[in-house]
Copies of this chain bind each other. A is one copy, B any other.
Amino acid sequence: MSLYLHDIPLSQAQEAFASALQAAGLDGVLASEELPLSEALVGRVLSDAVWAKLSSPHYHASGMDGFAVQASATQPASATQPAYLQVPSQAEYVDTGDPLPLWANAVIPIEQVEPLTDGVTQAENPRRPAQIRIRASLPPWRNVRPLGEDMVATQLVLPAGHRIRPIDLGALAGSGQTSVWVACRPRVAVLPTGTELKPIGVPLQAGDIIEYNSLILAGQVNQWGGVAQRFPITPDNFEQICQQVLTAAQDSDLVLLNAGSSAGAEDFSARVVQALGALWVHGVAVRPGHPVILGMIHLPSRQVPIIGVPGYPVSAALTAEIFVEPWLARWQGCLPAEPLQVTAQLTRKTTSHAGDDDYVRVLVGRVGENLLAAPLQRGAGVISSLVQADGLVLIPAGVPGLPAGSAVQVQLYRTPAELERTIFCIGSHDVLLDLLAQFLARRQRRLVSVNAGSQAGLLALQRGEAHLAPSHLLDPLTGEYNRAYLPRYAKLDCVLLTLVERAQGLLVQAGNPLRLNSLADLARQEVRFVNRQRGAGTRVLLDYHLAQLGLTSEQVNGYEQEEYTHLAVAAAVASGRADVGLGIPAAAQALQLDFVPLYHERYDLVIPTHFYHSELLRPLRETLHTPEFRAAVQKLPGYAIEQMGKEQA
């Protein structure tokens, strides 16, 4: 086995898979079954066209509650010259849906009839008078649903390949079907492999990985109309994996072999596929996802396609979207899903592996006139990037990257309506933003936060890329927050809406073993610091106070080590990568660190005036004044809410 993969282009891989499946006779509906009409058919795909067995209605039906008549008998009637019809010889009461008497060809609605007993007196039961008086004529077949009005026997009710919706069940039943032929749901075996994998709920050691890819893959398969079967974890052992694959293939139309698809020391998937059948593709030039395997297991009686799915969760999910979904559709006789596409403007420069089709996860929201796509973290292991993603942008092979402001096609995971009620927030990070998002969700707003630091947020406002920027930039000259930075960065008329005042201080290991009590302690040689990125308010605060103390950045060991959020700084300390960072107490609490309070600062939401007064942001303005939100904030350590919701002069 080669130690490295040789990626081939995506289209080439898809063609290789398609022609191999075609050769094996596996490129159409795999099997179909006749099922009785029931609500469980919703989502199933018709394998045969359905033609009407009955006409509907199957008789001439009254379309109204009223009196069935011969239209010609009503001809003399007018507003001034009423006509009288005898019941039941000339007029017969019918409810909606009742069959018309053979002699009748029209129905007078009961509201347009005067029911009489003797030509003058009102009848007691309006539906059983002796005669009726009418004051208008009507043409033949008025208020009648003639035989076949809806469907005529032999006409096409629904075509093959149609995915059944609830309303279709009515049409199928109405056309005389009691059952229909539908494509069988393709059976897909999902096989997690890896000695390092642990089932959900088992206590973890370093190096253990929670096995959840099989959950994702099974969920996808079921959503796409297949039936997933999840197998237990198989350790990295060639023989055991072979055995499990053979077992799984027996009752499956497709096997998904998860992980081990690369070319590492314990990557057995390619060898397993080669041993049990044919390996067509090992490596596809697509990111995330490139160590993909496409092959076939040869059973004595039949062939079963197998896909080696990479281990990183983002790669696994996207590999399934690219390679599994289209085939599940085809095996059911319908077209692959067609995600909605919109054109959006990329918020920042995005590089790409030039040789690969590169799928970039993006947040999408409308800011003023612009629909924006903000790229998320790229790591294939960062599942939260796919959870948060509003869509995917494909940077095709051959394109080394795209500059900020590029118009890109976004394949949407959300509805356009959701995008229209999205509040785009770029700037400083605070855990309160998560809490605020929760409260806004109840008021039909989606708060999407990009953690970029205070300065970057103000710059994003200037470029029209955000509705608001959380910021806590201290002006060294005045000791005031944010106001002084607006002309330099935001360059817009903005409101400073205070979210909170909060403590900043040292995040240290539990018990504070190094006894760090002031900023001056950062200059101690043995102390390893972890910093925030340039432009972050916390970095500005640090630099300001270091200068006050007469310290330089060179004197702080780890000054150049940067993180983008408070929680990331806390995680660095918690893991022992650093001894101390500057940050907020909520982050310390999150990672069970100790907190040494040093400063207080104001944390504002900087909002361009035209957005501030918009309907989109109204729920946000209101939420800051609700007792529920204030109470929730006060449950967290280190926040003061006196100024919450105040517009700073």
Q: B145 contacts A381, CB within 8 Å?
A: yes
Mark contacts of A79-95 with chain B using CB atoms, 8 A cut-off: 1 yes-contact digit, 0 otherwise: 00000000000000101
**A571 proximal to B (CB < 8 A):** yes
**A153 proximal to B (CB < 8 A):** yes
**A1 proximal to B (CB < 8 A):** no
**A384 proximal to B (CB < 8 A):** yes
Mark contacts of A257-288 with chain B using CB atoms, 8 A cut-off: 1 yes-contact digit, 0 otherwise: 00000101110000000000000000000000
Q: A575 contacts B147, CB within 8 Å?
A: yes
Q: A591 contacts B152, CB within 8 Å?
A: yes
- The minimal Cβ–Cβ distance linking A137 to chain B, given in whole angstroms, is 15
Q: B153 contacts A590, CB within 8 Å?
A: yes
Q: B570 contacts A152, CB within 8 Å?
A: yes
- Report which of B4, B95, B196 forms a contact with A264, defined as CB distance below 8 A: B95
Q: B146 contacts A37, CB within 8 Å?
A: no
- Which residues from chain B contact A486 at a C-beta distance below 8 Å? none
**A156 proximal to B (CB < 8 A):** yes
* Nearest-CB residue, chain B, relative to A65: B264
Mark contacts of A179-193 with chain B using CB atoms, 8 A cut-off: 1 yes-contact digit, 0 otherwise: 000000000000000
Mark contacts of A134-175 with chain B using CB atoms, 8 A cut-off: 1 yes-contact digit, 0 otherwise: 000000110001111111111111111100011111111110
**A370 proximal to B (CB < 8 A):** no
Mark contacts of A565-594 with chain B using CB atoms, 8 A cut-off: 1 yes-contact digit, 0 otherwise: 001101110111100000000000111000
- The minimal Cβ–Cβ distance linking A422 to chain B, given in whole angstroms, is 13
- Report which of B146, B217, B444, B567 forms a contact with A155, defined as CB distance below 8 A: B567
- The minimal Cβ–Cβ distance linking A444 to chain B, given in whole angstroms, is 6
Q: In the docked arrangement, what's the CA distance between A95 and B98, Å?
A: 76
Q: A434 and B262 in contact (CB under 8 A), knowing A170-B216, A171-B387?
A: no
- The minimal Cβ–Cβ distance linking A225 to chain B, given in whole angstroms, is 13
- The minimal Cβ–Cβ distance linking A359 to chain B, given in whole angstroms, is 13
- Which residues from chain B contact A93 at a C-beta distance below 8 Å? 265
- Which residues from chain B contact A335 at a C-beta distance below 8 Å? 444
- Report which of B146, B228, B317, B589 forms a contact with A170, defined as CB distance below 8 A: B317
- Which residues from chain B contact A120 at a C-beta distance below 8 Å? none
- Which residues from chain B contact A210 at a C-beta distance below 8 Å? 173-174
Number of interface residues of A (CB under 8 A): 122
- The minimal Cβ–Cβ distance linking A382 to chain B, given in whole angstroms, is 5
Q: B207 contacts A262, CB within 8 Å?
A: no
- Which residues from chain B contact A65 at a C-beta distance below 8 Å? 262, 264-265
Q: A383 and B174 in contact (CB under 8 A), knowing A317-B167, A567-B155?
A: yes
Q: For window 30-63 of chain A, which residues contact chain B by CB distance below 8 Å?
A: 37-39, 41-42, 49, 54-61, 63
Interface stretch of the complex, out of A392-400, A411-419, A465-473, A548-556: A411-419
- Which residues from chain B contact A590 at a C-beta distance below 8 Å? 152-155
* Nearest-CB residue, chain B, relative to A102: B576
- The minimal Cβ–Cβ distance linking A576 to chain B, given in whole angstroms, is 8
- The minimal Cβ–Cβ distance linking A39 to chain B, given in whole angstroms, is 4
Q: B169 contacts A212, CB within 8 Å?
A: yes
- The minimal Cβ–Cβ distance linking A224 to chain B, given in whole angstroms, is 10
Q: B577 contacts A60, CB within 8 Å?
A: yes
* 17 A-B interface contacts by CB (under 8 A): A3-B126, A37-B212, A49-B438, A59-B206, A63-B381, A65-B265, A96-B311, A147-B577, A148-B568, A149-B381, A150-B381, A153-B591, A154-B431, A158-B387, A166-B220, A170-B213, A340-B416
The 10 A-B residue pairs with the shortest CB-CB distance in the complex, in nearest-first order = A166-B219, A148-B571, A154-B590, A173-B212, A338-B417, A156-B434, A59-B206, A99-B206, A147-B575, A39-B218
In addition to A58-B206, A146-B571, A173-B215, 6 A-B residue pairs with Cβ atoms within 8 Å of each other are A42-B222, A59-B206, A147-B574, A148-B574, A151-B384, A174-B212
